[in-house]
Amino acid sequence: LKKKVAISIGDPNGVGLQLILENHTKVCEVCDPIYFVNQNILQQAATLLNIHIPNNINLFETIGEFEIKPGEVCKDAGLYSYNSFLDAINYVKENKADAITTLPINKESWSKANIHYVGHTDMLRDVFQEDAIMMLGCEKMYVSLFTEHMPLSKVTSSLSLEKLEKFLLDLKKSLPNVNEKIAVLGLNPHAGDNGVLGNEEEIIIQAILNANKKLGKQIFEGPLVPDIAFTPRVRSQYKYFVAMYHDQGLAPLKALYFDEGINVSLNLPILRTSVDHGTAFDIAYKNINQLSNLSYLNAINYCI
Amino acid sequence: LKKKVAISIGDPNGVGLQLILENHTKVCEVCDPIYFVNQNILQQAATLLNIHIPNNINLFETIGEFEIKPGEVCKDAGLYSYNSFLDAINYVKENKADAITTLPINKESWSKANIHYVGHTDMLRDVFQEDAIMMLGCEKMYVSLFTEHMPLSKVTSSLSLEKLEKFLLDLKKSLPNVNEKIAVLGLNPHAGDNGVLGNEEEIIIQAILNANKKLGKQIFEGPLVPDIAFTPRVRSQYKYFVAMYHDQGLAPLKALYFDEGINVSLNLPILRTSVDHGTAFDIAYKNINQLSNLSYLNAINYCI
């Protein structure tokens, strides 16, 4: 039996519905998808895109009625993408599907609809009241983020032994099938260079020691020198990396594997994966045949 | 007439002398090199490496007498690499050569010899009393660093309008032949996301405006979202990038172009380039035929 994947459509004014319609056949090869969109909205998109709606499509008819406005920031579309995601969450919570794959929402549209989450992960944290872990990457390399969406000035003070140790243990618990070493990056240039460029690496060393001790295994290694961690030689040694902050991990990841990347929410009662691109308003409904689908298909494949 | 390049040998216990001996013929094809090492030290290396010293080699006999100890941190070697660099600087200052290319020194060995510079660039700053700019990269992409070797916790408070504006103007002055746009990165994740994730981007925007106004030209663009700045699409638009801090620029650069990278010191009365790797003590004098020479040859080529 194929796994069932709940797919929230993201912002209807963006590229989500085109990705769904163009890739339905491929998606059906690996899972049994259910899309969180009603017939009317889907038909509007199909008409705009001049693509037939496949016969075998399975919909959860998320309520909402409005006109799709290609590429526009819009309250109605924002609210609808929120409801599509919320319906998908509840569906998976009730064990009617195995995992969620989300298509991109527009944060400004959410804001216009008075939804004040920074994004999907933030909403999941609130719904489940758990410390979700954000992991991005692809088959070749995954980066999980110890801190995420915060000003750079707050990063250093957010690092504590207790928090990092918990993060490492939560991460390992969320990756039960991963038995290889996981690389933990330093915080400072040259990983502090023995304290000359910062001493927060002492906290990182201790957190690694504590986590490994509790796991009874040398799972975590580090702290790695951040600007060396993603060179070819080091990448050949590790597939999983822990970055201390957003751009430390994501700038190298996206430099290397932009098109293929996905976003995985770990440490939650449900599994959620996502494409690692935005709504692409600039190309939505613009008669582009076959959007790049690597990220979308990888996101679904991770669920399987 | 070929340009004359002064080559300081770096730490004699590291891979510098092997690179010099193995690549002398190639180097002579593009420039007229002079190596800052005396006959005795060079002969020791040649014997250890079992490589003949080329007949046409031109030496500036930096004073010093000691035994090469492959791969060891050592006071004598540290002092010698310092003197080799100092002689090269003076030589270029006296207009006897056009530029310096440096081979890697060992910071611990410098420290043992009571030389307290963090590295070559730091020493150049002191010698010339100028705000040297560190730029790293290769033909495909160069990254200059607004802040360099400092703890991450100090980065945000180091950013000021006055300093960044001066940095941008100094950088442009140092790259007189560059007429293309130069990308300036934001400081915060998502370049602050309109202030939600930090507001230092306002300073960056103003610095770019001021610099462009003084230059009478739209040279600088930004602030770019840091984790998008090095994706293939953006790299196709820019060759020169300004990073706000060390790992923001160097982690993506080294992920992409580790072997080819060089380090250039700009905004000084002399031009200095360097390989972008260390002394490689682990492989020094270990019978490895033909070390990777891409970075060394690129460093010399940049001088031409």
Cβ neighbours of A65 (radius 10 Å) = 9
Nearest CB among B153, B226, B230 relative to A198 is that of B153
Cβ within 8 Å, pair A251-B252: yes
List chain B residues with CB under 8 Å of A247: 189, 226-227, 248
List chain B residues with CB under 8 Å of A232: 258
B266 φ/ψ angles, rounded to the nearest 5 degrees: -105, 175
Tell me the percentage of chain B whose pLDDT exceeds 90: 90
Q: What is the pLDDT of residue B185?
A: 98
List chain A residues with CB under 8 Å of B196: 118, 149
Q: Which residue has the tokens 């590295």?
A: B119
Cβ within 8 Å, pair A151-B192: yes
Which ranges of A94-227 would DSSP assign to H, the alpha helix?
107-112, 120-128, 152-158, 161-174, 201-215
The predicted model scores a pTM of: 0.91
Q: How far is CA A184 from CA A139, A244, A299, B292, in A?
A: 18, 8, 24, 28
Is A291's pLDDT higher than 90?
no
Cβ within 8 Å, pair A254-B227: yes
Which tens digits make up the pLDDT trace of A17-27?
999 999 999 99
User: If you average pLDDT over every residue of chain A, what do you get?
Assistant: 95
What is the residue type of B255?
Answer: A
Q: Are A186 and A242 in contact (CB under 8 A)?
A: no
Cα-Cα end-to-end distance for chain B: 11
List chain B residues with CB under 8 Å of A198: 151-153
Q: Does B189 touch chain A (CB under 8 A)?
A: yes
From A55, A53, A79, select the one nearest A65 (Cα to Cα).
A79
Which tens digits make up the pLDDT trace of A64-108?
999 999 999 999 999 999 999 999 999 999 999 999 999 999 989
Distant-in-sequence, close-in-space partners of B264: CB < 8 Å, separation ≥ 6: B134, B135, B136, B142, B271, B272, B273, B274, B302
Tell me the percentage of chain A whose pLDDT exceeds 90: 90
List chain B residues with CB under 8 Å of A250: 227
Cβ within 8 Å, pair A188-B152: yes
More reliable by pLDDT, A260 or A220: A220
Using CA atoms, how far apart are residues A247 and B56, in angstroms rounded to an integer?
49
Please state which of the ranges A99-103, A115-119, A139-143 shows the lowest mean pLDDT: A115-119
A163: exposed, middle or buried (Cβ count in 10 Å: 0-12, 13-18, 19+): middle
Which tens digits make up the pLDDT trace of A237-255?
999 999 999 999 999 999 9
Q: How far is B1 from chain A (nearest CA, A)?
A: 39
Q: What average pLDDT score do residues A119-139 get?
A: 94
Coil vs helix vs strand at B184: strand
A198 φ/ψ angles, rounded to the nearest 5 degrees: 115, 150
Nearest CB among B188, B196, B251 relative to A226 is that of B251
Using CA atoms, how far apart are residues A209 and A221, in angstroms rounded to an integer?
9
Is A231's pLDDT higher than 90?
yes
More reliable by pLDDT, A194 or A153: A153
From A213, A189, A183, select the one nearest A201 (Cα to Cα).
A189
Q: What is the pLDDT of residue A201?
A: 97
Nearest CB among A197, A230, A246 relative to B254 is that of A230
Q: Please, what is the Cα angle at B104 between B263 and A185, to 5 degrees?
A: 70
Tokens of A141: 């390399």
Cβ within 8 Å, pair B152-A232: no
Q: How confident is the model at residue A297 (pLDDT cuts 50, 70, 90)?
A: very high
Q: Which residue has the tokens 């996101």?
A: A299
Q: Look up the ipTM and state it.
A: 0.90
Using CA atoms, how far apart are residues B97 and B74, in angstroms rounded to an integer?
30
Cβ within 8 Å, pair B198-A229: no
List chain A residues with CB under 8 Å of B187: 152
List chain B residues with CB under 8 Å of A235: 255
Nearest CB among A152, A230, A251 relative to B155 is that of A152
Task: For chain B of 304 residues, list the mean pLDDT of each consecutive stretch of 10.
Answer: 95 97 96 98 97 95 97 96 98 96 94 91 94 95 95 97 98 93 97 89 98 97 96 96 98 94 95 92 88 93 93
Q: Does A63 touch chain B (CB under 8 A)?
A: no
Q: What average pLDDT score do residues A266-286 get?
A: 93
